[in-house]
Amino acid sequence: MKIAIVGCTGLVGSVILKVLRELKLPITSLLPVASEKSIGKEIWFNDQSIKIIGIEEALQEKPAMAIFSAGGTISKKWAKPFAENGITVIDNSSAWRMDEDVPLLVPEINGHLLTPNDKIIANPNCSTIQMVLALKNIYEKFGLKRIVVSTYQSVSGTGAAAVEQMNNERKDNFNKKVYPHQIDLNCFPHGGDFLPNGYTSEELKLVNETRKIFNDETIQVSATVVRIPVIGGHSEAVNVETHKPFDIKEIKDALINTNGIVIQDLPDENLYPMPLTAHEKNEVFVGRIRRDDTIENGFNLWIVADNLRKGAATNTVQIAAHLIENNLV
């Protein structure tokens, strides 16, 4: 199968190439695509050197699938031309996520809804993916009334320039800034753009995408996004209120039986999820599972995942694998 990777030289694009190798998708021809400054350079994939091409050339090559990870502007401009040529597009940006005609996909949750007619498929926001995957079986068994989530997000979620800013600050170089403040030895409650209602665009992604993935507009979600000086992954403190009563063992069992979830919940042994141990892993890690005694049907979780893996590249490649396995491309 011929697959194009648009944005192959970026943070997420490079991890997509790693995950494609690890999951051994049946790729007969890879088309690495990047901006003009990278055209003609070479990448190494499956023991061969492949030249990077431009997006127009990739369209002319008519791959079966194109994975977009080059930002919303590129996706808005090029996803439809690819789709109109019969190419299935899996998009990592926010450009298509809330389009009512575009599936917003976490394969373990709603992959069964895909059809061969879905030519543009959106990958959710990194923080949304890890949270909804952890809540999948709980939603199905007990319903979700309300979620209050605070995220503690890695600088890699902003991009390579943010990682560079933090690393420079650790060398006492404060000249080049992506963020409005120093990030090393600091944290700030600011992800995305501030909106008139006081929330940020990153916080509203958690609200709107959660409802779309579960196809349930009644779920109440309140989110706070915090940027922290780590590279390895995003962490979330999640407080959940369900519609139905539960025993806390039932919550743990629901998590244990969710594909892609790993329980790390032995506080007496100091075992709980951390970005350091989630780094470069494809799974979502859950711990600190405990009842919230302040409300009738409430509990708390601590959820951690590598935002470049399950939060982006891994989920994208899993969508591609699902399409192939179910003969949808």
d(CA 128, CA 106): 10
- Confirm if 61 and 82 have CB atoms less than 8 A apart: no
CA 55 to chain centre: 23
Which residues are known to be catalytic? 126, 234
Q: Quick check: 76 pLDDT over 90? A: yes
Average pLDDT of the residues in 52-70:
97
In single-letter form, the type of residue at position 325 comes to E
The β-bridge relationship of strands 298-305 and 48-51 is: unpaired
Domain assignments of the chain as residue spans, ordered by start: 2-124+312-325, 127-307
Task: Name the CA radius of gyration of the chain, rounded.
Answer: 20
Give residue 10's pLDDT.
92
Do 2-124+312-325 and 127-307 share a fold?
A: no
Q: Which residues contact 243 (CB under 8 A, 6 or more apart)?
A: 142, 143, 144, 145, 297
Q: What is the mean pLDDT of residues 145-166?
A: 96
Structure tokens at 70: 């080059």
pLDDT value for 232: 80
Section 254-280 average pLDDT: 97
Hey, is 309 helix, strand or coil?
helix
Burial class (CB in 10 A: 0-12, 13-18, 19+), 51: exposed
- Residue 71 C-alpha from the chain's centroid: 14
Q: Domain 127-307 belongs to what architecture? A: 2-Layer Sandwich (3.30)
Mean pLDDT, rounded, for 38-57 = 95
Average pLDDT over residues 290-308: 98
The helix/strand/coil state of 138 is helix
Residue 135 pLDDT > 90 = yes
Helix spans in the chain (H): 11-23, 55-61, 72-84, 107-110, 126-142, 160-169, 201-214, 248-256, 275-278, 314-325
**Where does the pLDDT of residue 129 fall: very low under 50, low under 70, confident under 90, or very high at 90 and above?**
very high
Rounded to the nearest integer, the mean pLDDT of the chain is: 97
Q: What is the pLDDT of residues 163-200, one digit of tens each?
A: 999 999 999 999 989 999 999 999 999 999 999 999 99
Residue 218, pLDDT score: 98
Calculate mean pLDDT across residues 312-328. Answer: 97
pTM of this structure: 0.96
Segment 110-125, tens digit of pLDDT: 999 999 999 999 999 9
List, for residues 230-245, the tens digit of each pLDDT value: 998 999 999 999 999 9
What percentage of the chain reaches a pLDDT higher than 70? Answer: 100
pLDDT tier at 34 (50, 70, 90 boundaries)? very high
The count of other CB atoms within 10 Å of the CB of residue 10 is: 20
Superfamily of domain 2-124+312-325: NAD(P)-binding Rossmann-like Domain (3.40.50.720)
pLDDT value of residue 153: 98
